[in-house]
Chain A
């Protein structure tokens, strides 16, 4: 279970990007976060694995408070959180297998990492997962030889190799064409079911969110203003999520304050 309470993130002295945000994710549901650019979706995801340092608040994953961890403990916590990126973030000049095994870097010894002596069970697991997403025959290819959809599959397998307790996906389909994008979304949904894994997906495409996820969270300017089943996302909710300006939002703040 992931429980976020009162999370605030402020860059410099400006307006906070996340404003006292609360969110709880239970079970193995696929949750999508929608909202216009700048709503804080990406910051929220990056706060969870501390690629972005939260300003205040609490994030608890299966009993572990994440916001206070440092060094070795932080790395141990991070390997339980898989992440899939918009631009795949593969190491282009390494082979697909090395990219996939880099998901295990938090587990294996430095010697094994440098010499590429991966444990047998990791290699078997990698081949199984690659087979599952259809890229096993590319194991020896360099990552930059693959197409966008194939590269994102490598990204997904890398995250799953971590043996994660939750999977974060930051706009996983934004760099892909519509057809490939649906394949990846379907894959994420199916894998979540197969591996009994909660998945949190930032997404621009509301249709895909409706089709492939169990729950939709709508964000606007650092707050959650919608949180319900996909069916309940009506036109009015959509308008609320995608309209308005930071200015309008701030003026309501002022009213509340006074």
Chain B
């Protein structure tokens, strides 16, 4: 009689092969090293760090209770924030359509236009809304115009990229069928491509609107309009109860925005 272990010729078992184990150790070691390097060299005054919980508690204490005396003004600017987000999303959507067309391999006229489209997308996506806002405030001065443009420029890349991918993934057979009827390129796009990407189009526009609501709450911090201006003012004057009220208003806005966009998604798709 032989035991099962003898039959299989081994009694040891481990989950990973030697090479796998080594790879895992290497990954762990690398992560640990990176963290140690970051921790060791970061420019931090450690006394402040140990002090931080107390400071945070102190700040929260000063925020309570939130002060609603300025609620009227807060709500008015909050509405302006929503308008910035909505307008910028709408404009961004319109501009991103031709960009998506250029950046999709199956619709772009030639290689040069493909790379142009991709360049626009990458530039737009890699520069953060706040940095766009800094630039537009410098150009157009403080105010909502800079805010709208900043959000719009950042949205073009996001919407354009997702839409371009949707165009690349369409069912090609209707396109072939319409080409066979002798339809021109433009008509094929209108009849066979646009209907297919419509659901993605709406989904992406709604998603981006939701994100833009959040982004437009900080524009004011660099002078580009919206609720951020009031927040900055309250913080600068150490008016913490009012700052708390603004934060609550932002929280309500964002949660409401999520509810609305979830509703729209269900209705339209």
Chain A residues within CB distance 8 Å of chain B: 49, 51, 74-83, 85, 87, 89-94, 98, 102-106, 110, 113-114, 155, 158-159, 162
Contacts and interface: CB of A to CB of B under 8 A. Distances in A.
Which range contains the number of B residues in contact with the other chain? 20 to 34
A130 B155 CA distance: 44
Contacts, number: 81
Nearest to B178: A102
B105 interface: no
Given A93-B199, A98-B191, A113-B190, 13 more contacts: A74-B182, A77-B182, A79-B182, A85-B176, A89-B176, A90-B177, A91-B178, A92-B196, A93-B198, A102-B178, A102-B191, A103-B181, A105-B184
Contacts of A78: 179-182
Contacts of B188: 105
A190 to B, nearest CB: 22
A103 B174 CA distance: 12
25 contacts: A51-B179, A74-B182, A75-B182, A83-B180, A85-B177, A89-B173, A91-B174, A91-B178, A92-B171, A92-B195, A93-B196, A98-B191, A102-B178, A102-B183, A102-B191, A103-B181, A105-B181, A105-B183, A105-B184, A106-B182, A106-B183, A110-B184, A113-B190, A155-B177, A158-B177
B205 interface: no
B192 A91 contact: yes
A80 B199 CA distance: 33
B48 interface: no
B37 interface: no
Contacts of A85: 173, 176-177
A105 B187 contact: yes
